[in-house]
Amino acid sequence: MKHDIVTEQRDFFYNKGYIEFEGIITTTQADDIRAAVAETLEQRRDGEERYRNSSYCAGRDLWRDNESIKKIVKSKKIAEIVVLLTNKKTIRLAYDQNVTAKTPLVAEGASLTELSALQGVIAGAMLCLKPDTTEEAPEYFPKEKGSAVLFRDDFIMTEKPAGNGIYHYIVYCEETTVYIYNENDENCHTLRALGYDYGDALRNEYHPLLLRYRCQ
């Protein structure tokens, strides 16, 4: 692995439920991804009705429709940090989600696990594509363009995103993760379009394995 995590960082992650890392992507990459997200969202809204009716729905799994987003979402660099923080041997890509004040990731007082239609979620990484300048975003959101905050799956987000920041959330899960019905996930039904039924294990074709390591 190329990235080193010290004990203090791992302890902070477990005790606080999140930790921020600066320079996870460059500012140029952040600008490029932001532009790619905007372009992909516009294309989706011009297409299927479900995307026109819900900005949150339109912002899910953008990596499937854009190569630039796909490259960042499948980043080994970020995946390595997740493996080291969670001490998981293998991690799989669960989904990605565009997050703004208009498309909040969670309702107040909910965790990633409680809001995902997947059983086996282990962590999330929120990339800052455009920092908030209003000082209204939650304190646990990334502060600088290109930085990322990694969250435990059970971390309770007590505030919705506010201000004018733009973020991209990458969610990771166990190698064996099951698609389940969860009424709290607005995108609960979307995987059925890929041929999944509730109770199915995620397949590499649609949810690739990102890393397979034995952590010490």
What CATH number is given to the structural domain containing 129? Answer: 2.60.120.620
Task: Give domain status of residue 55, yes or no.
Answer: yes
Contacts 24+ apart (CB under 8 A), 187-195: 187/56, 187/57, 187/60, 187/95, 187/117, 188/117, 190/57, 190/60, 190/61, 191/117
Structural domain of 56 = 7-209
Residue 137's pLDDT is: 83
Number of domains in the chain: 1
Task: Give domain status of residue 45, yes or no.
Answer: yes
Task: Give domain status of residue 23, yes or no.
Answer: yes
Question: How many Cβ atoms sit within 10 Å of the Cβ of residue 212?
Answer: 12
Task: Give domain status of residue 89, yes or no.
Answer: yes
Residue 52's pLDDT is: 56
Spatial distance between the Cα atoms of 195 and 130, rounded to a whole number of angstroms: 35
Residue 46's pLDDT is: 78
- pLDDT values of the chain reduced to their tens digit, one per residue, 216 residues: 456 678 899 999 999 999 999 999 999 999 999 999 999 998 887 766 666 566 677 889 999 999 999 999 999 999 999 999 999 989 999 999 998 887 766 666 789 999 899 999 999 999 999 999 988 888 899 999 999 999 999 999 877 777 899 999 999 999 999 999 999 898 899 899 999 999 999 999 999 999 886 544
Spatial distance between the Cα atoms of 155 and 17, rounded to a whole number of angstroms: 5
Residue 147's pLDDT is: 97
Token readout for 55 is 């900005």
Spatial distance between the Cα atoms of 203 and 159, rounded to a whole number of angstroms: 33
Task: Give domain status of residue 53, yes or no.
Answer: yes
Contact 34, 130 (CB under 8 A): yes
Task: Give domain status of residue 162, yes or no.
Answer: yes
Residue 4's pLDDT is: 67
Task: Give domain status of residue 2, yes or no.
Answer: no
Contact 69, 36 (CB under 8 A): yes
What value, to the nearest 5°, has the Cα angle with vertex 182 and ends 178 and 185? 105
Task: Give domain status of residue 84, yes or no.
Answer: yes
Residue 86's pLDDT is: 94
